[in-house]
């Protein structure tokens, strides 16, 4: 059971990083392409300090890789598992909320994300936990 405990600990770390809507938005806009911090800010509507903080956490967790080109930093998804996980969960939730027919799919391109700027307020739609 000790080996499984390690697996559970690692899974909990992944889910804790993904448990923040801002990080899901970031993952959403960069999952198909490498993007600069400025591009990520434009696509998500986040301020520079906020975007950088979330990107740093995602990088430390191993979700993202980064490279510097002059003064700009570019990020991309380091592990395809995160894209598949978010695609599966996002599709299920969109279906439950009746948003699947709207044509929004995961992942959106940066242009689609900026154009749609979709955010679902937790106060409007609550997911029921299933056991």
| Calpha distance 7→80 (Å, rounded) | 18
Asked if residue 124 is part of any domain, the answer here is no
Question: Against a cut of 0.75, is the pTM above it?
Answer: no
Instruction: State pLDDT tens for residues 28-43.
Output: 888 888 999 999 999 9
Q: CATH no. for residue 29? A: 1.10.10.10
Asked if residue 95 is part of any domain, the answer here is yes
Asked if residue 121 is part of any domain, the answer here is no
Comparison of pLDDT for 19 and 106, the residue scoring more: 19
Looking at the DSSP assignment, which residues form a beta bridge with residue 74?
Answer: 36, 67
**How many domains is the chain built from?**
1
Instruction: State pLDDT tens for residues 54-90.
Output: 999 999 988 999 999 999 999 999 988 877 877 787 7
Q: Residue 48's domain spans which residues? A: 2-113
Asked if residue 123 is part of any domain, the answer here is no
Q: Which residues contact 41 (CB under 8 A, 6 or more apart)?
A: 47, 48, 51
């Amino acid at each position: 059971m000790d080996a499984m405990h390690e697996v559970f600990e690692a899974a909990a770390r992944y889910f804790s990083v993904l448990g923040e809507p801002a990080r899901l938005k970031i993952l959403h806009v960069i999952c198909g392409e490498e993007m600069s911090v400025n591009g990520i800010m434009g696509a998500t509507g986040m301020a520079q300090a906020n975007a950088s903080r979330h990107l740093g956490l995602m990088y430390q967790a191993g979700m993202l890789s980064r490279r510097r080109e002059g003064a700009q930093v570019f990020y991309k998804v380091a592990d395809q598992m995160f894209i598949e996980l978010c695609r599966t969960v996002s599709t299920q939730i969109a279906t439950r909320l009746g948003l699947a027919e709207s044509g929004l799919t995961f992942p959106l391109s940066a242009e689609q994300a900026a154009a749609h700027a979709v955010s679902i307020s937790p106060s409007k739609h609550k997911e029921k936990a299933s056991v």
